[in-house]
Amino acid sequence: MSQSIESPDLDDLAREDPTEMAAHIGDDEAVLLVGHGSRREESNEQVRELAVDLEDHLGLPVDTGFIELEQPGINDAIDQLASAVSEISVVHLSLFAAGHVKNDVPVALETARAEHPELTIRNGSHLGIHPSILDLLDERASEVEAELGVDRTEDDVAVVLCARGSSDPDSNADAYKLARMLWESTEFETVEPTFIGVTEPLLDQTLEQVGDEDYDAVVALPYMLGDGVLTQRVHDWTDEFAADYDGVAGSGEPLGTDERIVEVLASRWQEARTDDVTMSCDTCKYRVTLDGFEDEVGGTRDDLVHVLEHLLEGHDGHSHDHDHSHGDDHGHDHGHSDDHDHDHDHGHSDDHDHDHSHGDDHGHGDGHDHGHGDDA
């Protein structure tokens, strides 16, 4: 017989280590790890690998779903789980909260709730800024220092933290916050935020600016999960800079599938499972009117309302009296779609005999923000 958590215990469980809390969860629950999806199979496989690691970490079944370019999509993944579990907690494999986290995933989840009213579907948060990620970035910088033969305690070392870049100002602002927190907690001379595309400052601009300061060494860190096209661009641009720089310069490795990423994912699951997900709505362009983004209030949710009204009411004469709130459990709902295969057996109960497949990637340029792909 499956066991369930009674709501009075949630506050106590929220204070436990995620793995200890997971031990109290019954066998009728699962986790859905949502990745972006890529044409590069290596990027898709990274999502599956993290799902396996998270499953081992929590001792709970973890499936994967993709926003685009790979299977299964979010809704297909939920369809597969619906026959085996009664509760699903969604965790986002996204570094920052932009359009996919704030719009696409929430839309998919609201559609899934309408199609599976018997399911409890909880929406979690993105990876965000977390002490484990700061620790991992510090380690990545140390690796480059060792390669360059410098030491931040003895040499003037500058770090350039390169994020993907987004059309969402809230997401870009988090890159600045992350850089500041890394600087505050280390002995680097400076930690400068920059971007590989979509917005400025771009990496080559920031490297040029830092180069004028004559630091002993410049360390460029790609703030990306995978070793894809954008990460390679960070390496290439840093190599070009290093060729003309009077000091030494090098670039680090992406975050990858390090166990600290799994720890953050476990924390995000715990927040979702205990209804303790928090996100700032005060600076969200989909929630409030910001100068320059007036047309984006509400995001894609207007279209969703029409879809849901047809699903729930089954008629054409639906009302247009709806609000533009982001939904779910924390003010921004997040949704995904599709289905995939891990090619391994989870050994879950309840005939949870799901299979995890994956698909493709797409290569877009810098000029627009799909938040996709390789290095997301």
Same domain (yes/no): 270, 164 = no
Residue 172: pLDDT above 80?
Answer: yes
pLDDT of residue 14: 61
How many percent of the chain have pLDDT more than 90?
Answer: 66
Residue range 154-158: average pLDDT?
A: 98
Give me the CATH number covering residue 38: 3.40.50.1400
Same domain (yes/no): 23, 112 = yes
- Contact between 200 and 231 (Cβ < 8 Å): no
pLDDT of residue 297: 63
> The whole model's pTM is what?
0.76
97 occurs within a structural domain = yes
pLDDT of residue 240: 98
Strand partners for 64: 33
How far apart CA 67 and CA 334 sit, in angstroms, is 11
335 occurs within a structural domain = no
355 occurs within a structural domain = no
Same domain (yes/no): 245, 172 = yes
Tens digits of residue pLDDT in 69-127:
999 999 999 999 999 999 999 999 999 998 889 999 999 999 999 999 999 999 999 99
Same domain (yes/no): 96, 54 = yes
Same domain (yes/no): 92, 136 = no
Band of pLDDT at residue 288, cut at 50, 70 and 90: low
Tens digits of residue pLDDT in 194-216:
999 999 999 999 999 999 999 99
Longest distance between any two alpha carbons in the chain, whole Å: 71
237 occurs within a structural domain = yes
Q: Which domain holds residue 265?
A: 7-128+261-313
Same domain (yes/no): 164, 236 = yes
Same domain (yes/no): 32, 107 = yes
pLDDT of residue 300: 52
Among 272, 296, 313, where does a domain finish?
313
Among 271, 296, 313, where does a domain finish?
313
**Helix/strand/coil percent split, the chain, to 5:** 40, 15, 50
Same domain (yes/no): 135, 124 = no
Domain count, the chain: 2
318 occurs within a structural domain = no
Same domain (yes/no): 16, 124 = yes
Tens digits of residue pLDDT in 1-34:
444 444 436 566 666 789 989 988 888 999 999 9
Same domain (yes/no): 79, 150 = no
Tens digits of residue pLDDT in 25-60:
888 999 999 999 999 999 999 999 999 999 999 999
pLDDT of residue 295: 73
pLDDT of residue 59: 96
Strand partners for 338: 73
Same domain (yes/no): 54, 110 = yes
Same domain (yes/no): 199, 265 = no
Catalytic positions, written as ranges: 36
Q: At what angle do helices 105-115 and 301-313 cross, to 10 degrees?
A: 0
How many percent of the chain have pLDDT more than 70?
Answer: 70
